[in-house]
Chain A
Amino acid sequence: MKYIDEFRNAGLIKTIKNKIFSIYSEDKLNFMEVCGGHTHAICKFGIRDLIPEGINLISGPGCPVCVTENSYIDKAIDLARRREVIIATFGDMVKVPGSQASLETSGLNSKSVRVCYSSMDALELAAENQDHEVVFLGIGFETTAPTIAATILAAKERGINNFSVLAGNKTMPAAMQSLLEAEDVSIDGFICPGHVSTITGTGIYDFIPEDYNVACVVAGFEPIDIMETIYLLIEQIKSDSPKVKNQYKRSVKPQGNTKALKILDEVFVGCDAIWRGLGNIPGSGLKIRKKYRMFDTEQKFDIQVSSSERHQGCICGAIMRGVKKPPECQLFGTECIPESPIGPCMVSAEGACAAYFKYKQ
């Protein structure tokens, strides 16, 4: 495929691999990728097989689906059970467990839950089903939030009033800060999310090298991007000059996408948010501004769910910080398995716990 094959060139990758091995010394290094797209690419392309064993790639809380809390799923199921409601969602959300079940396993009519490819598809669904209320599950980071905001603006302009968003969008910097704030943190470098950065720009990570002395490289998603990013991270560590470097220049501009940010700010405002496995992180969520409350599912419906608390034994937070391994969790392989996951590292098929469960038991 043009524009993709160029970034999967075996010869170039070998060159970067050699460069990595030539500057790497025996240090143990923990690099965290905070984007589910990176986690997927690292697994798909077998990147771990190409780098020194001492470099540990940790999957952070960057899969927005995996960090969705029980209570959010419970609300979605509660809504889906109502005759007048159609839930529209990105496909991988249907597997995420709530307190009792997931959207997939809660015995819902297939017409009550529709998989769509974008929030605009959900708006069309609402336009075509005027006798139903279409609720879009607003999940994702800064990457998807502007498209959801744009959909709400479009709904308002077109007068489609049977459309609303169950806002669950999250933002990345506060979550990264929360990981860095832990006393036992052991992250040497961040592989920063390329798609998020395309919207936000690179400035949102400046506090990481400045306040925590941790290296950051904004990375693309092809194997050459990831390999080069790993090289750039080691280089920063070697020279003890942590900063925010942009490897993904073909997409990410320092100032981000100002138009998207404007739309985002028009519709959403920051709030606290609960993350599966990490708990409440102040300032890490987005809620719909009051002026658009007619499109806010929480304002439109009376939703009362009694969700179970986050499982006390789950150590996903520590696993993500690189200080614990999955088998050290008392739930691992017993209560928490891929078929009925508890923490985000097991919810994601590529999460640390799921991978460990499959290959290293």
Chain B
Amino acid sequence: MDKIKIAHGSGGSYTHKLIDEVFGKYFDNNFLKRKEDSAVLPSSPERLVYTTDTHVVKPLFFPGGDIGKLSVTGTLNDLAVMGARPAWLSCGMVLEEGLKISTLKSIAYSMAETAAEQKVKIVTGDTKVVNQGVCDKIFINTSGIGFLPENINTGVENIEPGDKILISGYIGEHAAAIITAREKFNISFDIKSDCACLYPLIRELTSELDGIRIMRDPTRGGLATTLNEFVGDQNFGITVDEDQIPIREEIKGLCEPLGFDPLYLANEGRLILIIKNEEAKEALKIMQLYTESNAPRIIGQVTDEYQGRVILKTTIGSKRVLDMQSGEMLPRIC
């Protein structure tokens, strides 16, 4: 039994064997052990935060991570950017007939390891198998539950002109790692995905600072798209200093010939923080403890000018609108 068969999704003995040998083994915890239809979880006086995310990525393994790690960090980060302490995850898998069981094991191990590092348990799950060609090897849905402390209330409505905008590290690295892993370029690039859990950083920020307006992880659509989400239909604008945006030379070198813009490339372990001006420098210091010290930057500010728009102050001294990405970014011919 080295490949996934349709029978593995039938609910019968193959399914049970797969659950025991893969998910039970790696995700091991008391909730799962009961093998019931749902996990019964303890209640808490804190507010519950609940999110879900589905993960499809090609290739499954890439420099800096894999679909398993991504499926945990992605959902945990969605909880964390609300200020919530992640606690539990569910895991729904769609497997393509023929997937190697060793591959599935590597992915499950990666999920378990990433969750354990964050003291998060995968408490319930589901597995379906589809015929070859119906899905691309493996799709993973995870939903997550976290607890939100009473003193944390972030949201767009808190944003005020004068607030500062920070980014926690170099941008564009996840998408660039995927592109270089997917395509056969004749040049080798030393690029790793930034795929990581943001909660430890966010816990520190939220416990030390009380001027946090909003936090977001700039995944699909990248930094530019997230900033545009903040200003949409609002009576403020955002200005960004291109000089301050941290982008590694390798990423610039990959993007330049392909016609990609790093500002639109996905990140999987970066935090955008809007915070009141007076606390921006303190926030920057905290961020520097969690990554390479020169990577986090104050990249811009909220302004009452340019309402509803993001304006990029370019390195050459001009200003232009930084628009939301429309459609998929594709390599250009010209």
Q: Is the CB of B316 within 8 A of A223?
A: yes
Chain B residues numbered 283-334 whose CB sits less than 8 Å from any CB in chain A: 312, 314-321, 323, 326-327, 330-334
Within 8 Å CB of B261, what residues of A? 44
Within 8 Å CB of B183, what residues of A? 117
Of A10, A36, A65, A93, the residue contacting B315 (CB under 8 A) is A10
Q: Is the CB of B326 within 8 A of A92?
A: no
Within 8 Å CB of A117, what residues of B? 183, 258, 331
Chain B residues numbered 224-268 whose CB sits less than 8 Å from any CB in chain A: 249, 252-253, 256, 258-259, 261
**Given the interface contacts A1-B249, A1-B252, A117-B183, does A95 sit within 8 Å of B317 by beta carbon?**
no
Within 8 Å CB of A92, what residues of B? 330-333
A229 to chain B, nearest CB (A): 15
CA of A117 to CA of B334 in the docked complex: distance in angstroms?
Answer: 12
A115 to chain B, nearest CB (A): 7
Q: Is the CB of B334 within 8 A of A1?
A: no
CA of A24 to CA of B324 in the docked complex: distance in angstroms?
Answer: 34
Chain A residues numbered 184-224 whose CB sits less than 8 Å from any CB in chain B: 195, 223
**Given the interface contacts A40-B259, A359-B321, does A13 sit within 8 Å of B333 by beta carbon?**
no
Flag whether A278 is at the interface (Cβ < 8 A). Answer: no
- Of A46-54, A254-262, A265-273, A285-293, the segment with at least 4 beta carbons within 8 Å of chain B is A46-54
Q: Which residue of A lies closest to B253 (CB)?
A: A1
Chain A interface size, under 10 / 10 to 19 / 20 to 34 / 35 or more: 35 or more
Chain A residues numbered 124-178 whose CB sits less than 8 Å from any CB in chain B: 139-141, 143-144
Q: Is the CB of B334 within 8 A of A46?
A: no
CA of A222 to CA of B316 in the docked complex: distance in angstroms?
Answer: 11
Q: Which residue of B lies closest to A359 (CB)?
A: B321
Q: Which residue of A lies closest to B331 (CB)?
A: A91
CA of A62 to CA of B318 in the docked complex: distance in angstroms?
Answer: 24
Of A13, A65, A95, A349, the residue contacting B334 (CB under 8 A) is A65
Q: Is the CB of B318 within 8 A of A50?
A: yes
Flag whether A353 is at the interface (Cβ < 8 A). Answer: no
CA of A140 to CA of B334 in the docked complex: distance in angstroms?
Answer: 8
CA of A357 to CA of B314 in the docked complex: distance in angstroms?
Answer: 23
A73-87 contact mask (Cβ, 8 Å, vs B): 1 or 0: 000000000000000
Q: Is the CB of A91 within 8 A of B314?
A: no
A132 to chain B, nearest CB (A): 17
Chain A residues numbered 219-263 whose CB sits less than 8 Å from any CB in chain B: 223
CA of A75 to CA of B142 in the docked complex: distance in angstroms?
Answer: 42
Flag whether A283 is at the interface (Cβ < 8 A). Answer: no
Q: Is the CB of A64 within 8 A of B334?
A: yes
Q: Is the CB of A35 within 8 A of B333?
A: no
Most buried by B among A1, A49, A144, A359: A49
Q: Which residue of A lies closest to B325 (CB)?
A: A349
Q: Is the CB of B317 within 8 A of A90?
A: no
Of A9, A14, A49, A90, the residue contacting B320 (CB under 8 A) is A49
**Given the interface contacts A1-B249, A338-B326, A349-B326, does A195 sit within 8 Å of B319 by beta carbon?**
no
**Given the interface contacts A1-B252, A46-B312, A117-B183, does A90 sit within 8 Å of B318 by beta carbon?**
no
Q: Is the CB of A47 within 8 A of B318?
A: yes
B87 to chain A, nearest CB (A): 38
Most buried by B among A37, A45, A50, A195: A45
**Given the interface contacts A95-B327, A349-B326, A358-B323, does A195 sit within 8 Å of B316 by beta carbon?**
no
Most buried by A among B258, B259, B316: B316
**Given the interface contacts A4-B256, A40-B259, does A115 sit within 8 Å of B318 by beta carbon?**
no
A226 to chain B, nearest CB (A): 10
A39-73 contact mask (Cβ, 8 Å, vs B): 1 or 0: 01001111111100000000000111100000000
Q: Is the CB of B316 within 8 A of A8?
A: yes
Flag whether A88 is at the interface (Cβ < 8 A). Answer: no
Within 8 Å CB of A115, what residues of B? 330-331
CA of A92 to CA of B326 in the docked complex: distance in angstroms?
Answer: 13
Q: Which residue of B lies closest to A49 (CB)?
A: B318
Within 8 Å CB of A346, what residues of B? none
Q: Is the CB of B334 within 8 A of A50?
A: no
Of B252, B256, B319, B333, the residue contacting A49 (CB under 8 A) is B319
**Given the interface contacts A1-B252, A46-B312, does A140 sit within 8 Å of B333 by beta carbon?**
yes
CA of A37 to CA of B259 in the docked complex: distance in angstroms?
Answer: 10
Q: Is the CB of A139 within 8 A of B333?
A: yes
A285 to chain B, nearest CB (A): 17
Flag whether A94 is at the interface (Cβ < 8 A). Answer: yes
7 contacting pairs across A/B (C-beta < 8 A): A9-B316, A13-B316, A46-B314, A46-B320, A50-B316, A140-B333, A195-B334
**Which residues of B are at the interface with A, using a C-beta cutoff of 8 A?**
183, 249, 252-253, 256, 258-259, 261, 312, 314-321, 323, 326-327, 330-334
Q: Which 4 residue pairs across A and B have the least CB separation, nearest first?
A: A46-B318, A91-B330, A46-B320, A36-B334
* Other 20 A-B pairs with CB < 8 A, given A45-B320, A117-B258, A359-B321: A1-B249, A1-B252, A8-B315, A10-B315, A10-B317, A13-B317, A44-B261, A46-B312, A50-B316, A64-B333, A90-B331, A90-B332, A91-B330, A92-B330, A95-B330, A115-B330, A115-B331, A144-B333, A195-B334, A358-B323
